[in-house]
Structure 1
Amino acid sequence: MPRNPRATQWTQLFALPEQPALPLQARLRTAVVRAILEEHLRPGALLPSSRELAALLGLSRNTVTSAYLQLIDEGFLQARARSGVFVARDARPLSAAHAEPLRGRNGQASAPPDWSQRVLRSLLDKPTLSKPDRWRDYPYPFVYGNYDQQLFPTEDFRECCARSLARSHLPHWTPDLETSDVPDLIEQIRTRLLPQRGVFAPKEEILVTMGAQHAYYLLAEALFDERTRVGLEEPGHPHARNSFSLRQPRWVAIDVDEDGLVVDALPAADYLFVTPSHQSPTTAILSLARRQWLLRKAELQDFVIIEDDYEAENLYQGRPMPALKSLDKTGRVIYVGSVSKNLSPALRLGFIVAPRALIKELRVIRHAMVRHPSAFLQHAYALFLSLGHHESHTRRVNQALQERLALVAQALRELLPDFRFRLPSGGASIWVQAPDWVDAPGLSLMARNHGVLIEAGDVFFAKPPYPCPFFRLRLSSIAAAQIPAGIRALGMAVQDLAWACGEKRPAAHRAH
């Protein structure tokens, strides 16, 4: 028996979206709202009864009834006694009236602006870390930018978000903060995070940012111009370099060796950006002696240090080295930290610790840009910290990363023994030096053909060597079980590159 055309229409119109994370009732509400907003259902249109729609979609009647009731409460639907459920008259917001633009005498529109001439500060030509489209589909992503599904503390973070939405907590984050931050988060940073790094600061010296990159931008906006001499590690952090470059400072390259920043014979600079905890990208840890000498140099040569305490929490051996900020007695260190990087890079919560006169200026600049970071997220993360979830999550992450580092090291030694690296004592990556004939950007492209993503090392250099044999293997986005196969696939890419370059590789170096 042919199906009722009306039933077919309803089935197609209310097809549930492919969002398995949402309950069936929410997916049905989404389908109904979409049909209304896209004008497939006009105001006053009669909807099928809950019994009829439940039968058509294979849902329980209670699910449909609950969806209808919530949409009635939200003003999309209207119930009429003994008549049924209808689309409410004001269900759709009013749209702007149609109008035609004015045109010249010839009826033609004028030429659009030439944005290539109008943009004054472009970053399009600046090298940076990037990933291909649909990079999550690659089986072996040795790159930064994803959270770990197995490690993400879903229940803990859900608890903190739910508590923040409790009516008793709403007054703590719903008002406009203007230039301020959520006091609970500042207190947790001040009393829980900073003391672990040996840093003690009053609340007036702490500013919350939307991640470390936002901190770089704010500092550049406040402190740099084309006359400012800015020292950067070489190789160094490309995101910091690009954020700073918008103010067009004068770059000063500072050498890095296996022990981090080379402090002796520092060239003249006004500011020096450094990642002493785990140098980005080499993972070298700056020794205590070098830290002390660097601070003394800052006094002697009159420069200010911008310390990004990069991956300081990810330490697997020994005791943490004190932050430069903890050793600073003259106010010459601006400290940049991340609150949420271990949880997910998408959460974007960081902070700056600096003298209160500078923090006061940065608050006004931040207000002009974004007013303040999400107050809801600040409050939820303050709870996450206060309940001890941050520390327990960090322990789990460190255990997992330590395992992954060991697996990568073992696979590299077995499958690519002529590739050099030093096993770091912390952090989430390994800096690898290939044989001199390898150019890492070319290897990176070749590796994609084998499902492998790596971070070519040229982007970390202001003046990269050629060929550039360095690359970084990031471990935060790849499961431990995938690592041996991923390095094996990378070895196959090395073989392909060697063949393309006419380079003969010893049989012992071939990946099997």
Structure 2
Amino acid sequence: MIKTRVPPDIFFLDKQSKRPLQGQIRETVIAAILSQQAPPGTALPSSRQLASHLGIARMTVTLAYQELVAQGYVESISRAGYRVAESGAAHRIAVSDPDWSDGSSGRWERFLSDTLATRRRVLKPVDWRSLPFSFVYGQMDTALFNHTAWRNCARQALGTRDFDAMAGDMVTADDPLLVNYIRARTLPRRGISADPDQILVTVGAQNALWLIIALLARRGLRAVCENPGYPDTVAALRWHGAEVETIDIDEHGLPPNRIPPGTDAVFVTPSHHAPTSITMPKARRLQLLAYAETHDFIVVEDDYEFEMSYLEPPSPALKAFDRTGRVLYVGSFSKSLFPGLRLGYLVGPRSVIAEARELRSLMLRHPAGHQQRTAAYFMAQGHFDMQIRDMRQQYARRREAMQAALEAHNFEIAGAARFGGSSLWVKGPDGLDSTELAHSLLQDGVLIEPGAPFFDRLDGPCPFFRLGFSSIPVDRIERGIALIAEHSGRLLSR
């Protein structure tokens, strides 16, 4: 006996989403079942009725219902449509919506030591892909990614042979296949030799930096960072109570002779300075290491994007010249694979990696095993190297187009990676506020990164901004730069 029928108006679709309609229908029906809006035995709207309500093809609804039958959530009733099955699925407790306060009106201030929302941040719109001229940095062009190969590697990682290893809690361990790739293929390209127990897989470079800072700051820490520099490193250090001094860089990066006495740790981006892309020459690197030895401090090297070397081979990492174990090396796959993967790695002395491994275990156990194994297969089977080849070719064309357009509109390129990279550091005309420029440009669908968040201190408006070219098609670059020039002139003429 079929009970009452569920009204179709409790079901909805997001037609702006790229997700398949069948999947959305299944999800909204399951949500209704688990929230008890559609109790067991209740008849669902007919496929014709629901299709009419949602404005989609009837067959789409029928296929979604059939999948729900296969899952056990729905039953097919001969000549009577579909009804909710006695699936045994756990029901959510019905929640009323009374007038209540979440405590945001001041109650929590005495429990929170700081407000992270006020830190210097490089912001980008979530929907940046919808903008026609997106010079966003650090994002990938999905057209250059071999999605089919990645999907096949993911299926392989989910196969019976691998599933037992990934289904369990690895506690402090990492995927040995990924670690072996990093040790045997990635690090040698940077001139680094390391054993497996000197490598820790992290949830991106950000997680690696946080682990280092958390370990070092326990006994108090005097740290030096670059100015301009990566704002999140400075924010993390200060959040952990470290005393931070930022030092202005010159044309060769951070000057070692300006590091104050008593410094415990220096955080640098020598191969590809963030954000200017300046490359620290070998002589300066050796000087920094000698200074570290003489004044007894450690160096944390954030070495990102070295794979994007299409103009000349990248110089060896700072860690490659380290003979006394003073350098902690941070690497990432975010720029070379895709940022949403969130896989990075930390290389250092065994004792430090052992402590970092335990701390990581306290925080999150380990990065997702399936992601680690999929990435390992993608690299081991040669897909990664082919992707890097394609990215280098595209980035070379885009950088050439960017330089030509900037020169044509009289912009100064204030910083660029000697080996290639995926961005340029640009100086606008004197008096230009790049933050105001960025806001103005959004009206015409142009996205840039204003330079102010990278500076720990500034005198007046910041004329610098960063232009990434990793995700903008080459045929849109010239028009995008022209719009930047138009808006710059308009702001300066007021």
Among 339, 360, 371, the alignment partner of 1:377 is: 371
Q: Identify the match of residue 479 of structure 2 among 473, 481, 485.
A: 485
Q: Secondary structure at the match of 2:225?
A: strand
Corresponding residue number in structure 2 for 1:315: 309
CA contact (8 A) 1:78 1:86 kept: yes
User: Whole-Å Cα distance in 1 between the matches of residues 13 and 215 of structure 2?
Assistant: 50
Partner of 1:183: 176
* Higher gyration radius (CA): 1
Residue number in structure 2 paired with 1:149: 142
Letter in 2 for 1:179: T
- Contact 2:138 / 2:335 at 8 angstroms: preserved in 1? no
The alpha carbon displacement at 1:209 in A equals 0.7
**What is the CA distance between 1:148 and its match in structure 2?**
1.0
> Residue 271 of structure 1 aligns with which residue?
265
Partner of 1:359: 353
1:438 aligns with 2:435: no
Checking the alignment, whether the CA contact within 8 Å between 1:340 and 1:350 is kept in structure 2 is yes
Identity of aligned residues (%): 38
**Matched residue type, 1:93:** A
1:389 corresponds to: 383
What does residue 509 of structure 1 align with?
Answer: none
Give the secondary-structure state (helix, strand or coil) at the position aligned to 2:161: coil
C-alpha RMSD of matched pairs (Å)? 3.1
Matched, 1:244 2:237: yes
2-side partners of 1:485 and 1:282: how far apart?
23
Deviation track 1:433-474 (CA, whole Å, cap 9, x = no partner) reads 223222222222232233222211121111123232211112
Q: 1:455 to 1:65 in 2, by over 3 A?
A: closer
Q: From the superposition, tell whether residues 447 and 9 of structure 1 become closer, same or farther in structure 2 (CA, over 3 Å).
A: same
Q: Map of 1:442-457 to 2, 5 A cutoff?
A: 442-457=436-451
For structure 1, which segment, 283-292 or 143-152, has the greater mean C-alpha deviation from structure 2 after superposition? 143-152
Aligned pairs for 1:57-68 (under 5 A) are 58-60=57-59, 67-68=64-65
Count of residue correspondences:
486
Residue number in structure 2 paired with 1:507:
none
Unmatched segments (≥5 aa) in structure 1:
1-5, 501-512
| Counterparts of residues 33-112 of structure 1 (less than 5 Å) | 33-47=30-44, 58-60=57-59, 67-79=64-76, 85-90=82-87, 93-96=90-93
Given the alignment, which residue of 7, 16, 27 partners 1:30? 27
Report the Cα distance in structure 2 between the residues aligned to 1:284 and 1:110, rounded to whole angstroms.
Answer: 47
Structure 1 contact 420–433 (Cα < 8 Å) conserved: yes
- Give the 3-state SS of the residue equivalent to 1:336 in structure 2: strand
- The amino acid across from 1:89 in the alignment is E
Could you say if the C-alpha distance between residues 418 and 150 of structure 1 is closer, same or farther in structure 2, counting changes exceeding 3 Å? closer
Q: Within 2, Cα distance between the matches of 1:434 and 1:323?
A: 31
CA distance in 2, matches of 1:50, 1:138: 38
In structure 2, runs of 5+ residues without a counterpart are: none
TM-score (norm 2): 0.89
> Is the Cα contact below 8 Å between 2:11 and 2:29 reproduced in 1?
yes
Q: Does 1:345 align with 2:339?
A: yes
Partner Cα distance (1:28, 1:182) in 2: 36
- Are the aligned partners of 2:5 and 2:45 in contact in 1 as well (CA < 8 Å)? no
The structure-2 alpha-carbon separation of the partners of 1:422 and 1:230, relative to structure 1 and needing over 3 Å to count, comes to closer
Q: Write the distance in 2 (CA, Å) between the matches of 1:175 and 1:499.
A: 63
Structure 1 range deviating more: 131-140 or 208-217: 131-140
Task: Give the corresponding residue for 2:159.
Answer: 166
**Cα contact 1:209–1:215 (8 A) shared by 2:** yes
Asked if structure 2 preserves the Cα contact closer than 8 Å seen for 1:458 and 1:465, the reply is no
Secondary structure class of the residue paired with 2:363: helix
Which amino acid letter does the alignment assign opposite residue 331 of structure 2?
G
Calculate the TM-score normalised by the size of structure 1: 0.86
Amino acid at match of 2:435: P
